[in-house]
Amino acid sequence: MRELMERTLSETSGWRKAHPRATFREIESEVEGRLAAVRRGLIEELAEESVSSDLAKQAEAERPRCGQCGGRLEARGQEGREVMTLRGDRVELRRSYAVCSTCGAGVFPPR
């Protein structure tokens, strides 16, 4: 995250040098666009740190249950999924694809 912030500050500074006559609205628009990218990156990073992002790392007793039969879910690798934020931004999350050990139902991402 620190790299993203440093890169954003550097790019914003570079943009400003390249646009010395930018209006207040143009500056505001540029900053908003760059902050949106930082916000998406932060959301993605924090979501990836969630225990629920990788079912294989959870103790079996802590894993969610199948919504159809109540069986335990087993991890079957990771897949990406695009999610819409409250602000309408799209972020890419990686989550475990899960399969019920009892009925075989597939769940992505596990709840």
Q: Global pTM?
A: 0.65
Question: What one-letter code names the amino acid at 78?
Answer: Q
Question: If you average pLDDT over residues 43-60, what whole number do you get?
Answer: 81
pLDDT higher than threshold 90 for residue 26? yes
Contacts of 82 (CB under 8 A, 6+ apart): 90, 91, 92, 93
Question: If you average pLDDT over residues 63-90, what whole number do you get?
Answer: 87
Report for 14-18, 93-97, 106-110: range of highest mean pLDDT: 14-18
Q: How far apart are CA 76 and CA 106, in angstroms?
A: 9
